[in-house]
Each structure stands twice: as C-alpha cells, then as structure tokens.
Amino acid sequence: MNLKMNLKILGTLLACTIAAGCSSHAMSPENPMVGGAPMYQSKNIVENAVNSKDHTTLVAAVKAADLVATLESPGPFTVFAPTDAAFAKLPAGTVESLVKPENKATLSSILTYHVVPGALDAKTLLTDIAAGGGKAMLTTVNGERLTLQQMGGGIGITDAKGETSMVTIADVRQSNGIIHVVDTVLLP
C-alpha cells in the first residue's frame, strides 16, 4: 500500500475511534463507553472490564483462569478483549467446558493469547502494519503469534487457526494498558 492510502486509513480509524469507538456506543476521548459503562483511564483492565455488560464471559473466564491479579498488575498490557457475542460464536458447550477447573491450563493459554506486552494503541498498530508491508506480527503473552492487517478501514487480527477477528472499539485506555474490543475469540 502506498503512504497516501495508509494515512487515509489511519485517519479514518482514528476519527472513528475518537468519535464513536467504531460502534454505536457514545464515546468521549477520556472515558469511552464499552458495554454501557464508561471505561476510566484511572482504573486497571479488570476494574473496567467488570463494568462492561459486553464482557461478562471474559471476566468470568479471567477469574476461572486465576488471571485477575496479573491483569490488575502495572503491566502495561494490550488486551484484545472478546465480547460475549464473540464467545457465543464458539461451538456450544465450549465456554462451559473451558471454565472447569480441569481445563484451567487451556483456558489460561487462550486468554493469554489475547494479551500482548506493552501498551499498543491503534496508531502504533497501524504504523507496524504499514512498516511490515501490510501485516504486523505480535507475540502474545502465551508465546504464540497474531497477525494484524488493515481490513475494511479497520484492524483485522488473524489467529493461529486462520480465523480473523476485527477490532470494533480501539484505544480504550486503562491505568495499566490499552484494550481493543474484538468480535471473535482468538485461538492459539
């Protein structure tokens, strides 16, 4: 892609992020709305996520995997946070099975596949995608890789299984990182 096209896509994404969070949710730059609740920059990832009506499954999974203390730590982290609708796309019974104590290691692996060290905002992700000739590779906390690319004016994330998730709300800033809401669960 040429520089003019990259700048146009970056401008569109940033305008969407600032104006409306790339969704129907109202948003202010300081405290964007996610799942009907304001996300405060002064709170950590867990403190904000528990208030989002769109992330109840993710919060339950984080608790079942004993990752609350990690996501409350200073970080910084970038979290690609799947919504309840994203979890609902998984085959029937998958979530119920994953939150069982005997599947804690698998659940932890899936959840840490959604976390990247550092605070990577949309501008940084788009810059990395442009620098990579249209794709950027990120190594997650679980050690596996995600592939990011521009798709339809937004950011698409392809997991190890070849499935693609889209960022629906970008740059939700937290005291210990950044959340990008995604529409599909990423699988290592």
Summarize pLDDT for 132-174 with one digit per residue, the tens.
999 999 999 999 999 999 998 899 999 999 999 999 999 999 9
**Residue-range definition of the domain harbouring residue 123:** 3-182
Domain-embedded: residue 160? yes
Q: How many domains does one find in the chain?
A: 1
Q: Helix 122-131 crosses helix 3-20 at what angle (to 10 degrees)?
A: 160
Is residue 31 domain-resident?
Answer: yes
Residue 187 lies in a domain: no
Burial category of 24 from C-beta neighbours within 10 Å (exposed 0-12, middle 13-18, buried 19 and up):
exposed
Q: Is the Cα dihedral 6, 8, 12, 18 positive or negative?
A: positive
**In terms of Cα–Cα distance, which of 186, 180, 182 is closest to 79?**
180
Q: What is the pLDDT of residues 46-91, one digit of tens each?
A: 988 888 888 999 999 999 999 999 999 999 999 999 999 999 999 9
What is the chain's percent helix, strand, coil content, to nearest 5?
A: 35, 25, 40
Residue 101 is encoded by which pair of tokens?
């104590």
Residue 188 lies in a domain: no
Distance CA 90, CA 18 (A): 31
Here the CATH number for the domain that contains residue 105 is 2.30.180.10
CB 55 within 8 A of CB 62: no
